[in-house]
């Protein structure tokens, strides 16, 4: 083994801990980032169980986004320099001291923004843009329904939809506190799914043009019912199961689009296209402070096990982070 670094390692069913692993090298078009902050994503919990393996060539270490400082650059890198403060999207490797990142998946951290704030942005902003604005061409004046409205993705979707001129932003969440938080961010309808029927309430509000869902299960049929004619429904996860029995007749009669996407395994050039679009359409609002990261809790890297337990409970609002930055 060459140079080593510390990283959060998985050993069967044992608690997560820091261990020594091989330090990554910069490939062509990549930079090496000294990681300060890594964002948690629910996909990390699935990865840990061996059910969401990294794409070929990607790091086996968990972590789909990070923030830090560039300490080395590979060949063909034209956009970045050593010392740049950046945050970026990864196919894996964020829970570590260093991470190799493709130059097209990075954002320059705005002046005055902390590494923790920056580390909460890449995955959620790129996921929201790729699904709502690219895949389904959301237009100003349309109505949206976001499930998991106070998750990291949900809180960012509310802000990006508001910035893009949405008419109604409807969300579901699991408590009155979460619903209140979502309306404070800009949601026009916050539905507590524990004691309210979102299907009925969304239909009463006129339906949704675009629905972003990470729940699956019986939500699939309810989403079809709640969608407007010509509506678009996308699943980015299936927390309540992907094997469902669905009546597809309304899909045909309402001329709906129902699909699912992932971000992790996309080609680096496609990720760069998504990054470029976020930079053009929404990053100026981040710089101006009109779109802000929502952070629930920050843990030290050595407390990754506690961070995963916190995420698994599902009570958080916004992003959970691992960080070496003061918090």
* 256-301 pLDDT tens trace: 999 999 999 999 999 999 999 999 999 999 999 999 999 999 999 9
Q: Residue 13: pLDDT band by 50, 70, 90 thresholds? A: confident
Distance, in Å, from the CA atom of 104 to the CA atom of 29, rounded to the nearest integer, reads 8
Residues 224-238, mean pLDDT to the nearest whole number:
96
Among candidates 213, 217, 208, which has minimal Cα distance to 256? 208
Structural domain spans, the chain: 4-121+264-323, 125-260
Which CATH class, in words, describes the domain spanning 125-260? alpha beta
167-202: per-residue pLDDT in tens? 999 999 999 999 999 999 999 999 999 999 999 999
* DSSP-assigned letter for residue 184: H
Q: Residue 247: pLDDT band by 50, 70, 90 thresholds? A: very high
**Can you give the C-alpha Rg of the chain in angstroms?**
20
User: In this predicted structure, what is the pLDDT of residue 1?
Assistant: 46
Among candidates 27, 65, 28, 58, which has minimal Cα distance to 44? 65
Distance, in Å, from the CA atom of 111 to the CA atom of 119, rounded to the nearest integer, reads 14
Contact 236, 262 (CB under 8 A): yes
Residues 142-169, mean pLDDT to the nearest whole number:
98
What's the gap between Cα 107 and its chain centre?
15
Judged against a pLDDT cut of 80, whether residue 326 lies above it is answered with no
User: In this predicted structure, what is the pLDDT of residue 53?
Assistant: 86
Please name every residue paired with 146 in a beta bridge, in sequence order, or none if there are none. Answer: 171, 212
Average of per-residue pLDDT values in the chain:
96
Record the pTM: 0.96
Torsion of CA 178, 41, 212, 133, to 10 degrees: 120
Contact 236, 210 (CB under 8 A): no
Contact 291, 283 (CB under 8 A): no
Which CATH class, in words, describes the domain spanning 4-121+264-323? alpha beta
108-133: per-residue pLDDT in tens? 999 999 999 999 999 999 999 999 99
Judged against a pLDDT cut of 70, whether residue 2 lies above it is answered with no
User: In this predicted structure, what is the pLDDT of residue 325?
Assistant: 87
Judged against a pLDDT cut of 80, whether residue 61 lies above it is answered with yes
């Amino acid at each position: 083994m060459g140079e080593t670094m510390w990283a959060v390692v998985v050993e069967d069913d044992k608690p997560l801990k820091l261990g020594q692993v091989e330090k990554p090298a910069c490939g062509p078009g990549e930079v090496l980032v000294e990681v300060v902050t890594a964002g948690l994503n629910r996909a990390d919990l699935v990865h840990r169980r061996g059910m969401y393996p990294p794409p070929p060539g990607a790091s086996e270490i968990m972590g789909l986004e990070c923030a830090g400082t560039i300490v080395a650059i590979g060949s063909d890198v034209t956009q970045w320099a050593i010392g740049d403060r950046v945050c970026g999207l990864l196919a894996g490797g964020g829970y570590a001291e260093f991470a190799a990142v493709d130059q097209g998946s990075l954002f320059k951290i705005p002046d005055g923004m902390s590494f923790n704030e920056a580390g909460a942005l890449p995955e959620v902003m790129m996921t929201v843009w790729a699904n709502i604005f690219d895949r389904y061409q959301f237009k100003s004046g349309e109505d949206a329904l976001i499930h998991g409205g106070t998750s990291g993705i949900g809180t960012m979707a509310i802000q990006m939809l508001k910035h893009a001129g949405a008419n109604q932003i409807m969300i579901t969440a699991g408590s009155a506190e979460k619903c209140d938080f979502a309306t404070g961010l800009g949601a026009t309808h916050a539905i507590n799914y524990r004691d309210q029927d979102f299907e009925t309430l969304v239909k009463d509000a006129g339906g949704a043009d675009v629905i972003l869902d990470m729940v699956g299960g019986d939500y699939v049929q309810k989403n079809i019912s709640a969608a407007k004619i010509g509506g678009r429904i996308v699943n980015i996860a299936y927390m309540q199961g992907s094997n469902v029995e669905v009546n597809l007749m309304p899909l045909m009669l309402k001329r709906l689009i129902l699909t699912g996407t992932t971000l992790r395994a996309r080609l680096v050039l496609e990720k760069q296209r998504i990054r470029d679009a976020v930079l053009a359409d929404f990053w100026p609002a981040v710089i101006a402070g009109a779109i802000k990261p929502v952070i629930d809790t920050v843990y030290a890297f050595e407390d990754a096990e506690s961070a995963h337990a916190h995420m698994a409970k599902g009570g958080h609002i916004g992003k959970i982070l691992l960080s070496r930055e003061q918090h």
